[in-house]
Amino acid sequence: MSIPRLRGVLAPAVTPFRSDLSPDRDRFVRHARWLLAHGCAGLACFGTNSEANSLSAGEREELLNALVEGGIPAAALMPGTGCCALSDSVRLTAHAVAAGCGGVLMLPPFYYKGVTDEGLFRNFAEVIERVGDSRLRLYLYHIPPVANVPISIPLLERLIRRYPGIVAGIKDSSGDWNNTQAVLDAFRGDSFDVFAGSEVFLLANIRHGGVGCISATANINPGPIRHLFVNWQSAEADALQASLSATRAVVQKYPMIAALKAVIAHYGNDPEWATVRPPLVELTPAQSDALAGALDQLGFKMPELQSGAAAG
Amino acid sequence: MSIPRLRGVLAPAVTPFRSDLSPDRDRFVRHARWLLAHGCAGLACFGTNSEANSLSAGEREELLNALVEGGIPAAALMPGTGCCALSDSVRLTAHAVAAGCGGVLMLPPFYYKGVTDEGLFRNFAEVIERVGDSRLRLYLYHIPPVANVPISIPLLERLIRRYPGIVAGIKDSSGDWNNTQAVLDAFRGDSFDVFAGSEVFLLANIRHGGVGCISATANINPGPIRHLFVNWQSAEADALQASLSATRAVVQKYPMIAALKAVIAHYGNDPEWATVRPPLVELTPAQSDALAGALDQLGFKMPELQSGAAAG
């Protein structure tokens, strides 16, 4: 039996650390529950905003197990499993499939720059072949501003033709709507699902056939983002989009990951949440206060966050 | 008792793979022996040209153990131990120190871009503090064309002042001699050793107080590079440098790692050596032939390579 395809609003769930920089399983599971209860259809855990690349493969496996053991439905999970090392990508992808995850979100190997589409094809093909499981749903992760290794449309074409059904979609975090639209146009008949990498492009993406967004700020604002996803055909859709984009603009004045954690720490009254792993640096108290003040002015809320924390 | 500081010509030893893409311990140890017997003072194994970032942490540990078990002196080793994940960097650095390695060559965490010097300082400081061993000799690895995360002079200054003796040097692979010279000038009195990242800058580096080079092409041309290192004050030094640079220029017309492996495969009559891990791609037969032909024209040789292979 095939798991239904993920669609809607997914959060690249931020990863909490204790003050000693070790991953905090309990806060992680609580945050995951809060996200699913407040608008997220799924969790793209271990994404860029999850500081996944600051976690070892073993730490990622332990945290994924913690989610499943904590009652999060595996079918709602799309963990990031793309690493620099082929062996790590195979290990994490196999682990995710065995856990029953709804998909995996796969970065290209991102250390070597200027690599060819042939080399990237071989990387993804090796992962698929070595995992060797028809339950695998692989979503490519295109984020050239960070990875500096793009996923081109000819590469997508080749992967989709070779592994139909397994190569299931893409998260486009290029920040370039023209690229997202080109991908949508190229694979319209292919059961290939396009997620925008930011809710700023959510309405445009759905209107052109996309299936949702996987966005940093879904960590803190999932309800309103879902509200637009559900009501994209309503008369108020453009106004809802403008409101989402305004909230996003306030947050992204700061380094995104530190800002998301500062917001959760503030609205959840839980200061330890602000901890990040090097090479990231947490916001200063003045930055955190200014960010919360600006969000308050927009009427921003994170409902039930404190009671959610207390319940964990 | 303190291990003498590494200096001279170090090779970022290329990592052989079997046709199934698994690391080939035996060929790796044989190549290490050949390098040390033919001009290398040490091995910066698990560098960029070693495809180290295509290896898992466990694979790196196993290969380091293979070298030591194969009789390679640990004091001659400067393995790469800098990963995206703090936990991996700590693990690999502790393993290298426990093995008695002469140093470690540490990339900055390279996924997140635009990070601050404060964040990078915290990363290196956490590794040093968690390893907690005065035998550690840490060499920073500055390679902005690939890592896209530079090691600035103010960051070096802060690390050297905080951890004198432990922060021991740098490999400058910026390809920018002005940067190398600025580092040499900045830390001239500090027992801080500067390796050029290419033998193209070897003579200039030694003349300005540097201690050698860690260069891709030392994998195939270690003897002549060492000859310049030893004879840098001779009348023929500039001619020797010109000859080294000419050889390098021929090789770097091709993707470097695939080219190095093709050369070893050709001169060692050992075709499996050409194998690379994705996302890299091996040279075509036509490229390999053209490269070998161009090297033959320069009188290039890899002495005893076949008998070295047979002895392994």
How does pLDDT run along chain A (312 residues), one tens digit per residue?
567 899 999 999 999 999 999 999 999 999 999 999 999 999 999 999 999 999 999 999 999 999 999 999 999 999 999 999 999 999 999 999 999 999 999 999 999 999 999 999 999 999 999 999 999 999 999 999 999 999 999 999 999 999 999 999 999 999 999 999 999 999 999 999 999 999 999 999 999 999 999 999 999 999 999 999 999 999 999 999 999 999 999 999 999 999 999 999 999 999 999 999 999 999 999 999 999 999 999 999 999 987 444 444
Q: Given an 8 Å threshold on Cβ–Cβ distance, is B281 in contact with A53?
A: no
Nearest residue of chain A to residue B108 (CA atoms): A279
User: Is pLDDT at B293 greater than 70 in this prediction?
Assistant: yes
For chains A and B, CB pairs below 8 A equal 115
Nearest residue of chain A to residue B82 (CA atoms): A54
For testing contact with chain A, the best of B17, B20, B54 (most A CBs within 10 A):
B54
Which pLDDT does position B1 carry in this prediction? 53
Q: Residues B208-228: what's their mean pLDDT? A: 98
User: Is pLDDT at B312 greater than 50 in this prediction?
Assistant: no
Q: Given an 8 Å threshold on Cβ–Cβ distance, is B113 in contact with A281?
A: no
How close B88 comes to chain A (CA, Å)?
6
Which pLDDT does position A3 carry in this prediction? 77
Which pLDDT does position A308 carry in this prediction? 45
Q: Given an 8 Å threshold on Cβ–Cβ distance, is B122 in contact with A148?
A: no
Which pLDDT does position A1 carry in this prediction? 53
Nearest residue of chain A to residue B276 (CA atoms): A119
Q: DSSP assignment, residue B168?
A: E
Phi (first) and psi of residue B64, to 5 degrees: -65, -45
Q: What is the pLDDT of residues A281-295, one digit of tens each?
A: 999 999 999 999 999
Nearest residue of chain B to residue A121 (CA atoms): B279
Tell me if the pTM is above 0.90.
yes
Q: Given an 8 Å threshold on Cβ–Cβ distance, is A147 in contact with B280?
A: no
Contact (Cβ atoms closer than 8 angstroms) between residue A3 and residue A100: yes
Contact (Cβ atoms closer than 8 angstroms) between residue B209 and residue B7: no
Nearest to A86 among B21, B86, B123 (CB): B21
How close A56 comes to chain B (CA, Å)?
6
Q: Which residues of A179-195 are buried (b: 16+ CB within 10 A; e: fewer)?
A: bbbebbebbeeeebbbb
Nearest to B279 among A53, A55, A108 (CB): A108
Report which secondary-structure segment, H or E, holds B52.
none
- Cα B150 from Cα B119, distance rounded (Å): 12
Q: What's chain B's average pLDDT?
A: 96
How close B117 comes to chain A (CA, Å)?
8
| Cα dist from A25 to A13, A28, A44, B88, whole Å | 13, 5, 16, 19
Enumerate chain A positions whose Cβ falls within 8 A of a Cβ in B: 21, 48, 53-57, 59, 84-88, 91, 108-113, 115-116, 118-120, 122-123, 126, 145-149, 277-281
- Cα A206 from Cα A211, distance rounded (Å): 6
Which pLDDT does position B308 carry in this prediction? 45
Which pLDDT does position B190 carry in this prediction? 92
Report which secondary-structure segment, H or E, holds A266.
helix A256-267
Which pLDDT does position B274 carry in this prediction? 98
Three-state secondary structure call for residue A21: coil
Nearest to A85 among B55, B122, B280 (CB): B55
Q: DSSP assignment, residue A290?
A: H
For testing contact with chain B, the best of A84, A91, A95, A115 (most B CBs within 10 A):
A84
Which residues of chain A make contact with B53, given a CB cutoff of 8 A? 84-85, 109, 111-112
Q: Given an 8 Å threshold on Cβ–Cβ distance, is B84 in contact with A87?
A: no
Going by C-beta distance under 8 Å and a sequence separation of 6 or more, which residues neighbour residue B31? B13, B14, B16, B219, B264
| Cα dist from B136 to A187, B6, B78, B107, B131, whole Å | 53, 13, 11, 15, 8
Contact (Cβ atoms closer than 8 angstroms) between residue B292 and residue B264: no
Residue with tokens 């900045």: B186
Phi (first) and psi of residue B199, to 5 degrees: -65, -10
Nearest to A86 among B57, B86, B278 (CB): B278
Which residues of chain B make contact with A59, given a CB cutoff of 8 A? 85, 87
Which residues of chain A make contact with B118, given a CB cutoff of 8 A? 281
Going by C-beta distance under 8 Å and a sequence separation of 6 or more, which residues neighbour residue A44? A10, A11, A12, A13, A50, A78, A79, A80, A105, A171, A214
Q: Residues B152-178: what's their mean pLDDT? A: 98
